[in-house]
Amino acid sequence: MLEVPFVTIRIFPYVAAALMLQALAGCSDKNSADNAAASPQAKVDAAPATTPAADGKLILAFGDSLYAGYGVGPNESFPVKLQAALMKRGISASVVNAGVSGDTSAAGLNRLAFTLEGLPRKPDLAMINLGGNDMLRGIDPAETRANLTEICEELHKRGIPIVLTGMVSAPNMGRNYAERFNPIYAELARKFGAALYPFFLEGVITDRALMQADSIHPNPKGVDIIVGKVAPLVVSKLESK
């Protein structure tokens, strides 16, 4: 089980960012969770990186602004750079960017089936990065857990392997919130046999040179570092099929 002791989460830029009301939506009031939940056909922030090759792997990157590529160029988002990293490792893969800025876990659950049905075929892997906006909005972790569980259950039912890229609670949310929120991803990973990268912004959020001015989203250099850490996990999960 992932242990994230409250006193050891030294992510001070995250504290400041979490206190900024304009950042609570994760990036976008236009793409608020309420709007996304009302419309399962909400547009993702970027198109698939490429058209999947018939003999290549198809990976779904399903999440919020951290996958969508908020604040970076079209070719600098996590899915695009992950695809390039996999290619360098000799893996022909297409990573579909299904990130929506501002999405909560509820909004993600609402659009999951629509997203899967819009793919050219069943993906070889689904990567999930949701929950950060839940935390910033102060949503009850029990609700986040329930929504992420339903997402994982749907993917499991369809026979789609899962990689979870987790989040941790900002310290200003309080110890009780952190103790309820932080274990969610590790527990779901165990339950569904998913690969887990415990904290998507690990090693990046504490370095201002790797973050955008909002202190929430990585800049292109930060994305590169995250991709370098996550890509081996993705490769391992693909090879374990």
Report residue 2's pLDDT band, with 50, 70 and 90 as the boundaries: very low
Residues in contact with 240: Cβ distance below 8 Å, sequence separation at least 6, in sequence order: 161
134 is catalytic: no
Residue 4 domain flag: no
User: Of 28, 32, 65, 101, which residue is the catalytic one?
Assistant: 65
Residue 107 domain flag: yes
Residue 3 domain flag: no
Residue 204 domain flag: yes
Interatomic CA distance for residues 170 and 221, integer angstroms: 23
Length of the chain in terms of residues written: 241
Of 77 and 50, the one with more pLDDT: 77
Residue 172 domain flag: yes
CATH number at residue 137: 3.40.50.1110
Q: At what angle do helices 78-88 and 220-239 cross, to 10 degrees?
A: 50
Over the stretch 5-16, which tens digit does the pLDDT of each residue have? 333 334 444 544
* Count of structural domains within the chain: 1
For the chain, what is the mean pLDDT?
85
Q: Which two tokens stand for residue 215?
A: 């202190």
User: Of 32, 94, 103, 217, which residue is the catalytic one?
Assistant: 217
List beta partners, residue 164. 128, 196
Residue 1 domain flag: no
Residue 177 domain flag: yes
Rg (alpha carbons) of the chain, rounded to whole number: 16
Please name the residue ranges forming H helices in 118-140.
132-137
Whole-number pLDDT of residue 18: 47
Interatomic CA distance for residues 78 and 65, integer angstroms: 10
217 is catalytic: yes
pLDDT surpassing 80 at residue 229: yes
Instruction: Note the maximum CA span of the chain.
Output: 49
How many other CB atoms are found less than 10 A from the CB of residue 99? 26
Percentage, residues of the chain above pLDDT 90 = 76
pLDDT surpassing 70 at residue 51: no
Q: What angle do CA 232, 69, 61 make, to 5 degrees?
A: 50
Residues in contact with 43: Cβ distance below 8 Å, sequence separation at least 6, in sequence order: 100
Q: Which two tokens stand for residue 129?
A: 């990065």
Residue 2 domain flag: no
- CA nearest 201: which of 224, 226, 221? 226
HEC assignment per residue over 103-122: CCHHHHHHHHHHHHHCCCCC
214 is catalytic: yes
Residues in contact with 209: Cβ distance below 8 Å, sequence separation at least 6, in sequence order: 221
Q: DSSP state, 44?
A: P
pTM here? 0.83
Range of the domain at 233: 9-239
